Amino acid sequence: MAIGKEIVQRYIRNMTLALAILVFAAVGLYLVGLYWDYAIAHNSMFSFRVADNVGVDLYGAIIPLVAGACSAALFVFFKFSSTRFAVCFVVSLAFAFFIFQVTKEGLMGRPLVFALLSGLATALIIFLSRPLAETKGKSLASLLASLSCAAFSLLLLDLVYTPFFYGSTIGGYGLTDGVLISTMYAPLWATIAASIITLLVQTFVFLKNYALRK
């Protein structure tokens, strides 16, 4: 029996959407990379004091916190798995503590490595639940979770070490660019991983349907 026209059309639509999202994420990585080059050349903080010995940086704390909070709110709004979100956060936090180290200048590390690991791990964790179903929803969940977890884990890490530095700035010094860059890169890596997984899943489902109809 020939495979149904509706199945073929649905497969083509899903593949086209996944490829379009993959291209969009790749362009996003390039654009964030341009910002990263600019941030290195114009490294500056826009911070204000909230206590005698503690400050807060706009780019390193406020913007990532707002972006993470909005993403977490959307995650809850769409009723995605809170358990998966918690696992993503724990894994991301573990990466943060492992990759970022304390120096005389504050917390320093490799934000690009952290963003890559956090984003990929988030997508894999989200897709572990019924991997052959609801790939569109899982792609959105991966993006939102990675954006929240990357920001929250690094900010929590900074808060843990803040008491050990006199006159410290949350999201400042070594994390001024690190938190913001990780917050922008992580969801893009998660989206790329989710798109690739979606392509593989949709192809598997299509071939399975084709085999059943032969």
pLDDT tens digits, residue range 65-114? 999 999 999 999 998 889 999 999 999 999 998 998 877 766 777 888 99
Residue 1 has pLDDT above 50, yes or no: no
Contacts of 62 (CB under 8 A, 6+ apart): 56, 171
Residue 2 has pLDDT above 60, yes or no: no
Which helix (H) or strand (E) segment is 190 a member of? Answer: helix 178-213
Six token digits for residue 158: 């900074």
Give the whole-angstrom CA distance, residue 17 versus residue 14: 5
**How much of the chain, in percent, has pLDDT values that exceed 90?**
29
pLDDT digits (tens, 9 = 90+) for 137-187: 888 899 999 999 999 998 888 888 777 777 677 777 667 677 888 888 999
pTM beyond 0.85? no
Give the whole-angstrom CA distance, residue 163 versus residue 27: 39
101 with 109: CB under 8 angstroms? yes
Look-up: residue for tokens 């600019």? 38
Six token digits for residue 102: 């304390």
Phi/psi of residue 133, nearest 5 degrees? -130, 150
145 with 113: CB under 8 angstroms? no
Give the whole-angstrom CA distance, residue 147 versus residue 153: 10
Give the whole-angstrom CA distance, residue 202 versus residue 196: 10
Q: What is the pLDDT of residue 60?
A: 79
